[in-house]
Structure 1
Amino acid sequence: MQHIETEILINASPEKVWAILTDFERHPKWNPFIKSIEGEKTVGKQLKVFIQPPNGGGMTFRPEVLVFDASREFRWKGKLLFKGIFDGEHYFRLADAGNGATRFSHGEQFSGFLVALMGGTLEKTKVGFELMNEALKRECEQV
C-alpha cells in the first residue's frame, strides 16, 4: 500500500473552495492535473475522470463516488481494469482554518499488487496534486 497526501492553506472560505472544486465544467480552465470530470455528484455514482500528471501520459478512469459532503469532503475510488491490480482512493478534504481560510488536504491511498512497480508514476502524481493545489489556491483567491 502507498499513500500520498498534500496540503495547502487557501485564503477563501470552505464554501468558496468547495464551489470551485466541484464545478466540474470549469476544471479544464484552471486545473493542470485533473483535466476533466464528468458525472453525477452523488454517492454510489460513477464519474469519468481524465488526469494528466506532469511529464506523464494522460489517463481516463471511471471511479465511484464514495463521499460527497458539501464543503467538507469529496472522495472517490477507482481501479485499473479489475479490483486488486491497482486501486486508488482519492480524496479532497476541506477544513475551516479560521479567518475565512481553508486547509485543503488532497491525497490518495493506493493498493493492489502493481503499486510496488509504480514508484515513478506515484512521484509524478504527487507533483500533479501539488500543482493542482496551487492552481486551486490561485483560483479561489482571485477577487
Structure 2
Amino acid sequence: MRVEHALRIAAPPDVVWAVTEDVERWPELTPTITSVTRVDDGPLRLGSQARIKQPAQPEAVWTVTEFVDGERFAWETRRPGLRMTGSHRVSLSGNGTTNHLGVEASGVLAVLLGPFLRPVMHRALVQENEGMKARCEAIARERAQAPSLP
C-alpha cells in the first residue's frame, strides 16, 4: 500500500531541500512527529539513521536507503509484520518547488490494517507538507526582504 501527497511551495528547491534534510527540526513543523534524533553524525546521507517518535506509535529507527543530494531521499523502518518506507522528493515547479511525500507500507500488518492506515497516513502527509510549506515560504520571504550586499 502506497500513499502520496504533493504540494507546491512558493520557495526555491534549495530552501525546500534544506528544510527536508534537517530532519531533527521536523517536530517544529508538524504535529505528526514528536521527536527526531540522529543516530549518526554529519550530513544526511545513504545509511544515515534517525530515531523517530510519533504520536501513538512506538519509537522507531529509520535508515536512509536512497539519497540524491538536493533532490530526494527515502528511508525505512521495520517492525514485526510491517515495513514502512518514507520518500521525500523536491522538484522545480515554475518559480517554486513541488514537495512530494510518500509512505509505503508492506507486510501482513499493512494488509490487515490497510483500510485504517491509508486515511491516517494520507492525513499525516498532508499535515507534514503543510508544515514544510509554511516553514519554507517563511524562509523565502525572509530572503527576499534581506538587503542585498554591494
Normalized against structure 1, the TM-score is what?
A: 0.85
Measured after TM superposition, the shift of residue 35 of structure 1 is 2.8
Distance 2:107 2:20 in 1: 28
Match of 1:51 among 21, 31, 54: 54
Secondary structure at 2:108 match in 1:
coil
Q: Match of 1:139, as an amino acid?
A: R
Which residue is equivalent to 2:26?
Answer: 27
Match of 2:87 among 85, 91, 95: 91
Which residue is equivalent to 1:117?
Answer: 112
Distance 2:112 2:89 in 1: 28
Q: Single out whichever of 16-25 and 104-113 deviates more from structure 2.
A: 16-25
Unaligned runs of 5+ in 2: 142-150
Moved over 6 A (4+): none
Which residue is equivalent to 1:102?
Answer: 97
| Equivalent residue pairs, number | 134
Question: Whose Rg is larger?
Answer: 2
Unaligned runs of 5+ in 1: none
Secondary structure at 1:15 match in 2:
helix
Contact 1:24 1:36 in 2 (8 A): no
* Correspondence 1:62 to 2:88: no
Secondary structure at 1:59 match in 2:
coil
Distance 2:68 2:35 in 1: 20
Which residue is equivalent to 2:123?
Answer: 127
Q: Calculate the aligned-residue CA RMSD, in Å.
A: 1.6
Q: Match of 2:100, as an amino acid?
A: S
Q: In structure 2, do the counterparts of structure 1 residues 77 and 25 end up closer, same or farther at CA, with 3 Å as the change threshold?
A: closer
Q: Structure 1 vs Structure 2: percent identity of aligned residues?
A: 25
